[in-house]
Structure 1
Amino acid sequence: MSQGEPIRVAQVVGKMLGGGVEAVVMNYYRHIDRGKVQFDFLVDSDSTLVPREEIESLGGRVFEIPPYQHVAEYQRELQRLFKQEGWKIVHSHINALSVFPLRAAKKAGVPVRIAHSHSTSGKGEYAKNALKAVLKTQSNLYPTHRFACSKFAGEWLFGKAAHFEVVYNAIDLDRFRFNAEARAQARADLGLVGNQFAIGHVGRFTAQKNHAFLIDVFTEVAKRRDDAVLFLVGTGEAGASVKALVDERGLTDRVKFLGQRNDVNRLYQAFDAFVLPSLYEGLGLVGVEAQASGLPCLLSDAITREVDVTGECKFLSIDSPVVWADEICSLSKKPDEERDSTLPGSFANYDIEQQADWLLRRYLHLANGDIN
């Protein structure tokens, strides 16, 4: 690296499928001083939503590697790349699976190896949980530094006695602030009429997000509230089965599948409530976004309370759809003038401008040999 060139950091993001982790990394990339730090993205070759054009326009590079399921080939290619490119910092975002790229990075002599915990585990995913349990026993062998999106996620992966830094899943708060004009337009675009009550959910169609339970909840809501409509944002392998369940319940006209969107900030404006009944989350960033838009939030009690920025979220058991339906049906539509665009100081940790500056300084210190 010649003088004046930015430090390049290898970001191991696994499969880019339009999920929350890559959104977090891209948020930081868009706002960090790229004259001082650049990102190179190492993505699995079976990724479906790689924003290659944007990454390259910002000065980054994309390296496709074999899928991590092919462990030996995956590690060999990573080790080759780490030696070839000479990155001083490798930052892995694939949770318990970070064992594999960081092992390759250590073998290649990479001096700074960051393991970043973005998730946890929950009931029901038996095979995944068994694998995570094994990999967690090695989670502290290869990183030189440990990051986590929450205290909960850090303790889950690294252990309660381990030292790690909380790196907040920061967002551009101005994009999510409530705006009455944006709300009116977004509701019109979604076909909402009058005072229809719009319930929103944002998340990939995977077992973790618990969509089948959510449809059970909305089935109960629909019996009691003629004005309720459920909007589901995201894509994923479980999408077809969820659509089949909606059809089976006769809810086709009242459950709307919006697919993968790049205007989720606008959609929050249209909603009247936000629901996230996940089996587990490292944090649940969409809950922070929804709060920034002034929405009442009903969240699974398996999610860390750290997500409750406003102190007004409700955490509910995912054992009873009726309990969730009761809470949703008790919500009244908040007049636009009562949705405040002024965010409390508790959102400061999620301000991308501040947090990107922190990450920039952290990378620079680490690249210059500051091991603390």
Structure 2
Amino acid sequence: MLRVLHCVAGMGRGGVETTLMNIFRNIDRDLIQFDFLVTSKEKCDYDDEIISLGGRIHYVPSRKQGIMKSRKALIEFFSAHKEYKIVHQHVSSLSNIQAIIAAKRASVPVRIIHSRNTQQSGSKLHKYLHLWNQRNIESYATDYFACSGLAAKWLYGEKQFTKGNYKIIKNGIQTDKFVFNSETRDRLRKELGVEQKLVIGNVGRFNLQKNHMFLLDIFKSVNDANPNSLLILIGDGVLRGSIEDKIKELGLNANVILTGVRSDISDLLQAMDIFVMPSFYEGLPGTVIEAQGAGLPCLISDTITNEVQITDLVHYAPLGDTAEEWRDIILNMTADFLRCDTRLELVEAGFDMKSIAKELQKFYIDKFYTLLSETDEPNS
């Protein structure tokens, strides 16, 4: 059996992690198993499911615990685990590619780097490291993946982007799971006590990238115009305290629900009337794909790639526009809106998870058998 090692910070319920789990659930696990190399010691949302599906979770210290300690642990890991012939590292920038570098030094033959975003946060040092590694990435990686063309251009630079030396792996969804269901909608709205309200929703980590502060300003404007409105924020993160403070400051305590991290996103999307995402940047946000799968109108910032606009449900607005201008678009988009089944559009656009899992499975197996054939050659 081929075991593929995925390198991530941890397997919490984030966008990248959820996409990985969707692929893991849909591959032929008699042929391929996914294992995970993580830097988080805390138990994460998907850990139990990974084990139940036959995967393994390995831990190495993060760079925050010491650069040399982390590097030494990676070297020792790959020295002890010669079974891995394919290493797949998922990144938002090239500032930390130590897993791929250690895999190269251990002669792991297939080393995939996967771009998951279109910008990075962090210090000037992080930006310098990103640019430095961008120049040298060909020395370490054998294959280049990205969730979108924009994410590829950001990570690999103009030179590699122009060459087209990358493969797009779309952030697909299980389309049948998200299709609009009026019974589910009625049940969830009753449970949440929002039967007669205009419900605006967002799914995302509580961090700077997602721009929740502007979203709250937008909602305040909507609520002033329509007091019978409500905002649902699904997720959690380092800015939760700041978000709670702003909710109080705006006097919106009774009109905003913070659900925390949830596993029933497909159901919660049914309860919403519009999905709003004013992010500063995104790779290709799977949540917008999910919202379209649920037949929801989506208003997103114009910084987000147009590759996510699969249906006519998606509309863009500039981040430079005022909260009032976003409000007017929201009220216009939700007036007399009827939900629809978008399954066929998502499947035809290549965003069905079953097809994506098959595509990635074929890539891994083709690589593996190529390696076997090379090993079997005389004098190899």
* TM-score between both structures, scaled by the size of structure 1: 0.92
CA distance in 2, matches of 1:284, 1:24: 10
Other-structure match for 2:295? 294
Other-structure match for 1:153? 151
Match of 2:8 among 9, 13, 26: 13
Q: Which amino acid aligns with 1:34?
A: R
Contact 1:205 1:237 in 2 (8 A): yes
Whether 2:188 is the aligned partner of 1:186: answer yes
Q: Which amino acid aligns with 2:340?
A: D
Matches within 5 A, 1:95-244: 95=92, 96-97=94-95, 99-121=97-119, 127=124, 129=127, 132-162=130-160, 163-194=165-196, 196-244=197-245
1:77 CA displacement: 1.5
Alignment root-mean-square deviation, CA: 1.9
Moved more, 15-24 or 30-39: 15-24
Which runs of no fewer than 5 residues in structure 2 stay unpaired?
Answer: 374-380
CA distance in 2, matches of 1:47, 1:158: 31
Whether 2:89 is the aligned partner of 1:92: answer yes
Aligned to 1:315, the other structure's residue is in SS state: strand
Distance change in 2, residues 1:40/1:137 (3 Å): same
Q: Which amino acid aligns with 2:294?
A: S
Contact 1:46 1:67 in 2 (8 A): no
* TM-score between both structures, scaled by the size of structure 2: 0.90
Which runs of no fewer than 5 residues in structure 1 stay unpaired?
Answer: 1-5
1:133 CA displacement: 4.0
1:52-82 CA deviation, whole Å, 9 max, x = no partner? 2111110000011101333322222122222
Distance change in 2, residues 1:105/1:230 (3 Å): same
Aligned length: 362
Other-structure match for 1:76? 72
Aligned to 1:76, the other structure's residue is in SS state: helix
Large movers: runs of 4+ above 6 Å: none
Identity %: 37
Moved more, 173-182 or 124-133: 124-133
Other-structure match for 2:48? 53
1:318 CA displacement: 1.3
Contact 1:200 1:231 in 2 (8 A): yes
1:17 CA displacement: 3.8
Moved more, 259-268 or 223-232: 223-232
Other-structure match for 2:275? 274
CA distance in 2, matches of 1:104, 1:351: 34
CA distance in 2, matches of 1:289, 1:230: 18
Aligned to 2:138, the other structure's residue is in SS state: coil
CA distance in 1, matches of 2:41, 2:211: 24
Aligned to 1:45, the other structure's residue is in SS state: coil
Whether 2:57 is the aligned partner of 1:62: answer yes
Contact 2:275 2:298 in 1 (8 A): yes
Other-structure match for 1:3? none
Contact 1:146 1:164 in 2 (8 A): yes
